[in-house]
Chain A
Amino acid sequence: MSTASIPYAGSKISLISKSDIRYVGTLHSINQQDSTVSLEQVRSYGTEGRKKNKSEEISGTDQIYEYIVFRGSDIKDLQVCEAPQRPQVQVPKDPAILGTTAPAPSSIPPGFNMMQGLVDGNMLPPNLAINPYLIQLYQQQLWQQQIQQQQQQQQPAASLLKTDQATGEQSNNIISGMEKLNLADPNAKKDDDNTQKETNEKNEGNSQQKDKNNNRSQNNNYSRNYNSNSRYQRGNRQNNNYRRGMNQRGRRNWNAKQLSLPDSDFDFESSNAKFKELSDKEANKTDKKEEEGNVQDGEEQEESGAEEKTQENFYNKSSSFFDNISCESKDRAEEQGKKFDRRAKQYEERKLNMETFGQATVNRGGHRGYRRNNYHSYRGRNYNRNNGYHRNNYRNYNNTYNNNNNRQKSQEQVSQNNNNSTQQQQKQETSQ
């Protein structure tokens, strides 16, 4: 859960504090409310000659700090870039540093949850997970930003943070703030992905450990952590509620879903070659059988001759307006004859999903049978039932107090971005 709350999380950020010390790290999150920027894997490069008085110069260090939260107002300059590698020493004494430990997962301020999920699909916050459309809005914003990355002017983010704060808007406009932030590094997205994967792996380990603790103490830990963090006073109550409903088991499953893909491209050629080999073998077998059959019985030949023609039997404009291809209603008629075993079918699907995606269902591996209701109906007449399911689910806690606001905002956001992005997309399309 420690990954980023903003789309550019994971990109390399270089920032200079008011004390003229330059830090380079991976962007973890930006907190609008408190005007803080959090970096991971941070390295200090010292003042690099920016101090007028040479005696005040502070040298950098090659020590890497896991996590640092910077006060936005103490940041002079912020750029997204590839960090130059230089070996240096010493811990910096800098008032800009608020802390050096990552906040606990529960300490995400309520307004933040939405953005959190955006980047990190596999850890969508509860209120998002409940609403497929919100997730998609998210992804859409991501997508728009990808476009904008290529087009926008560079601007220091620190100042942006301040202006955004000045307008007194909610943390949602982090996105708009971040949109203005240009990624100078075209590989930034790649980085992003990698760091995501890494952190996910880490999380898996963590959550397994956590699992050994019992539920209650776990929750206590969370809320203690949470309370000690005075920054997140707003929404305290709600957040606790949400914690209380949090189900450890569900949580573990949530994290355990990362599919690891090989780094190399999928090899179509060799895979298809394998397939040809297989089908050739099968063809040989059937050929042999047929031959044997032919020796025994002359009628077989006629049959295979008839098979050649069958294509015409499926559709032939000149003989009939209608076709005889396999279709949904035929399939269904066939199935009707068979005994329909819903449970077996469900089992089959879960098994198949496990194989394809490493998980059987989308958000709640721990909640067995939750879909049973849904299976009955055909063609989406059951959206109410679907809601009913959600009502029983812990994720709704967040939903009640937060979701509506967020949704509205993000929709506004989207509509603001609409013009922009369509234009840009059109440009892209024509360039293709």
Chain B
Amino acid sequence: MSVNINALSQQLQNTTISDSDKSWKSQLKLPPKDLRPKTEDVTATKGNEFEDYYLKRKLLMGIFEAGFEKPSPIQEESIPIALAGRDILARAKNGTGKTAAFVIPALEKVDNKKDYIQAAVLVPTRELALQTSQVFKTLGKHLNVKIMVTTGGTTLKDDILRLGETVHILVGTPGRMLDLAGKGVANLSQCGVLIMDEADKLLSPEFQPIVEQLISHFPENRQILLYSATFPIIVKNFKDKFLKEPYEINLMDELTLRGVTQYYAYVEERQKVHCLNTLFSKLQINQSIIFCNSTSRVELLAKKITELGYSCFYIHAKMLQSHRNRVFHDFRNGKCRNLVCSDLLTRGIDIQAVNVVINFDFPKNAETYLHRIGRSGRFGHLGLAINLITYDDRFNLYRIEQELGTEIQSIPPVIDKNLYVAPSV
């Protein structure tokens, strides 16, 4: 017995806190480092470390194993404030780490021993809901926190059954979440955190009434966090009505991403397919997203691209949800080089391999344009945005340039690879 105690005290003596620190860190299964160059949009940090936030060890493990090294600027600003329990109104550019900026504090706050919903995340599209819940699962993989996604286009019955079991974090689209809350199936009365990603979209006239109704199901002292890259003035009404002395974070000195080079190509409508064909042959596309302005045009273009002998998927809101899921999943996994889509995927979708965005149809407003081109150049990486401009689009082009304070140049005969292709390491 005494021998045992001796051995134990010996071991205790030899153990220092820093030792144990190292041992858990060295046991992490880290993914290969991403060595692509990054812009200031994500590198201009204060120098914080994730360890600085006194997060649970198991959460830290999830963070590092997901390949995160240091918090990005928005994460540095948002995580401590969110942990402190304040309402947040946060503005940061596309693809600079907003999702993790709310996922990390949400995971930290959730107590997995309590079997009710403690955080709810609202997003405007089903695909984004899937993506966001995936981030929760990845970062929280050691936490034993139960995440549930709920969106339209799935069977309500399944969701109801699922809610019979424990759910800690509910991620979903407004309509379905309200449906579940209204039916009393999802109990949000103890849900202290409501996060709204792409908040301005959620507060646009089509969603706002639903969201406001939904908020009535939350407790009085809930914390509300709003994140987006665009915040039109209409959000101010909501802010004044529902947020309590929100902490404003604004990391956008300008609206557009530094890493994304924007070009326009002037075409006649009937030349668009030809132009696109030439682009395909000239560009080094790792993966591309091609935007059209209507679902019928998405399908037509996808068909033409296939006829031209290039691989492509397409996705739009009028497809069956199961098909949408497959396409989204497979494109994300690199099964296909090109994805033709409507504005369904304009916001929030994070596919790191996308280095080229093509506006086959030029968008009608600056907001849509900004979010679309933000599908490339994720997390400060380089990307290319090419806009096919017709005679009728020209005023939109001028206007969007002016509103965003950016320059869309005419496409040069040769596009420098270094502008959008990461050097092979």
Which one, A209-217, A226-234, A256-264, is touching chain B? A256-264
Known: A332-B205, A362-B300. 19 other contacts (CB 8 A): A121-B306, A131-B323, A132-B299, A133-B320, A140-B335, A143-B336, A265-B278, A268-B411, A271-B265, A274-B266, A275-B266, A321-B248, A322-B233, A325-B367, A352-B297, A374-B318, A380-B153, A386-B320, A418-B333
Query: Within the complex, what minimum Cβ distance (angstroms) separates A80 from chain B?
Result: 17
Minimal Cβ-Cβ distance residue in A for B389: A275
Which one, B7-15, B44-52, B113-121, B307-315, is touching chain A? B307-315
A326 close to chain B: CB less than 8 A: yes
Minimal Cβ-Cβ distance residue in A for B229: A323
C-alpha spacing A210/B286, complex, angstroms: 44
Given A271-B266, A383-B318; A353-B402 close (CB under 8 Å) = no
A333 close to chain B: CB less than 8 A: yes
A150 close to chain B: CB less than 8 A: no
Cβ A325 vs Cβ B306 within 8 A: no
A93 close to chain B: CB less than 8 A: no
Given A139-B313, A310-B402; A353-B307 close (CB under 8 Å) = no
Cβ A139 vs Cβ B297 within 8 A: no
**Ranked 9 nearest A-B pairs via Cβ:** A380-B317, A143-B311, A275-B266, A133-B323, A327-B367, A121-B306, A326-B365, A266-B278, A325-B366
Cβ B274 vs Cβ A133 within 8 A: no
A302 close to chain B: CB less than 8 A: no
- In the bound complex, residues from chain A placing their C-beta under 8 Å from that of B400 are 326
Residues B31-58 near A (CB distance < 8 A): none
Minimal Cβ-Cβ distance residue in A for B421: A432
C-alpha spacing A316/B194, complex, angstroms: 28
Query: Within the complex, what minimum Cβ distance (angstroms) separates B104 from chain A?
Result: 23
- In the bound complex, residues from chain A placing their C-beta under 8 Å from that of B64 are none
A372 close to chain B: CB less than 8 A: no
Query: Within the complex, what minimum Cβ distance (angstroms) separates A424 from chain B?
Result: 10
Which one, B71-79, B180-188, B214-222, B250-258, is touching chain A? B250-258
B275 close to chain A: CB less than 8 A: yes
C-alpha spacing A192/B366, complex, angstroms: 41
C-alpha spacing A328/B372, complex, angstroms: 13
C-alpha spacing A353/B284, complex, angstroms: 28
Given A330-B232, A356-B300; A279-B336 close (CB under 8 Å) = no
Contact of B365 among A139, A276, A328, A414 (CB under 8 A): A328
Contact of A357 among B235, B248, B273 (CB under 8 A): B273
- In the bound complex, residues from chain A placing their C-beta under 8 Å from that of B248 are 321
Among B89, B269, B306, B314, find the residue whose CB has the most chain A CB atoms closer than 10 A. B306
C-alpha spacing A140/B327, complex, angstroms: 10
Given A266-B277, A310-B402, A324-B232; A189-B309 close (CB under 8 Å) = yes
Cβ A325 vs Cβ B206 within 8 A: no
C-alpha spacing A192/B309, complex, angstroms: 9
Residues B227-267 near A (CB distance < 8 A): 230-236, 248, 250, 252-255, 264-267
- In the bound complex, residues from chain A placing their C-beta under 8 Å from that of B327 are 133, 136
Cβ B273 vs Cβ A327 within 8 A: no
We find that the number of chain B residues with CB closer than 8 angstroms to chain A is 99
B138 close to chain A: CB less than 8 A: no
Task: Report B395-425 CB contacts with A as 1/0, cut-off 8 Å.
Answer: 0000110111100001111000000010011
Query: Within the complex, what minimum Cβ distance (angstroms) separates B273 from chain A?
Result: 6
C-alpha spacing A264/B274, complex, angstroms: 9
Cβ A140 vs Cβ B330 within 8 A: yes
Query: Within the complex, what minimum Cβ distance (angstroms) separates A90 from chain B?
Result: 37
Task: Report B352-371 CB contacts with A as 1/0, cut-off 8 Å.
Answer: 01000000000011111010
Residues A224-270 near B (CB distance < 8 A): 258-259, 261-262, 265-266, 268-269
Cβ A356 vs Cβ B272 within 8 A: yes
A297 close to chain B: CB less than 8 A: no
- In the bound complex, residues from chain B placing their C-beta under 8 Å from that of A295 are none
Minimal Cβ-Cβ distance residue in A for B231: A322
Contact of A325 among B365, B412, B425 (CB under 8 A): B365
A381 close to chain B: CB less than 8 A: yes
Q: Return 25 A-B CB contacts under 8 Å, by A number.
A: A132-B323, A133-B320, A136-B336, A143-B311, A193-B308, A266-B279, A268-B410, A272-B266, A314-B403, A315-B405, A325-B232, A325-B404, A328-B365, A349-B296, A353-B296, A355-B270, A356-B300, A378-B206, A378-B317, A383-B320, A386-B318, A386-B319, A421-B335, A422-B333, A429-B334
- In the bound complex, residues from chain B placing their C-beta under 8 Å from that of A327 are 200, 230, 232, 365-368
Minimal Cβ-Cβ distance residue in A for B90: A321
- In the bound complex, residues from chain A placing their C-beta under 8 Å from that of B403 are 311, 314-315, 325-326
Minimal Cβ-Cβ distance residue in B for A361: B296
A338 close to chain B: CB less than 8 A: no
Query: Within the complex, what minimum Cβ distance (angstroms) separates A92 from chain B?
Result: 34
Main SS at interface, chain A: helix
Cβ A322 vs Cβ B265 within 8 A: no
B152 close to chain A: CB less than 8 A: yes
Cβ A279 vs Cβ B335 within 8 A: no
B303 close to chain A: CB less than 8 A: yes
Minimal Cβ-Cβ distance residue in A for B206: A378
Minimal Cβ-Cβ distance residue in A for B273: A259
- In the bound complex, residues from chain B placing their C-beta under 8 Å from that of A425 are 334
B91 close to chain A: CB less than 8 A: yes
C-alpha spacing A311/B407, complex, angstroms: 12
B337 close to chain A: CB less than 8 A: yes
- In the bound complex, residues from chain B placing their C-beta under 8 Å from that of A333 are 205
Query: Within the complex, what minimum Cβ distance (angstroms) separates A330 from chain B?
Result: 7
Task: Report B194-208 CB contacts with A as 1/0, cut-off 8 Å.
Answer: 000000110011100
Cβ A380 vs Cβ B316 within 8 A: yes
Cβ A322 vs Cβ B317 within 8 A: no
Given A143-B337, A315-B405, A321-B250; A431-B269 close (CB under 8 Å) = no
C-alpha spacing A278/B395, complex, angstroms: 12
B282 close to chain A: CB less than 8 A: yes
Minimal Cβ-Cβ distance residue in A for B392: A352
A382 close to chain B: CB less than 8 A: yes
- In the bound complex, residues from chain A placing their C-beta under 8 Å from that of B230 are 323, 325, 327
B326 close to chain A: CB less than 8 A: yes
Query: Within the complex, what minimum Cβ distance (angstroms) separates A269 from chain B?
Result: 6
Cβ B307 vs Cβ A121 within 8 A: yes
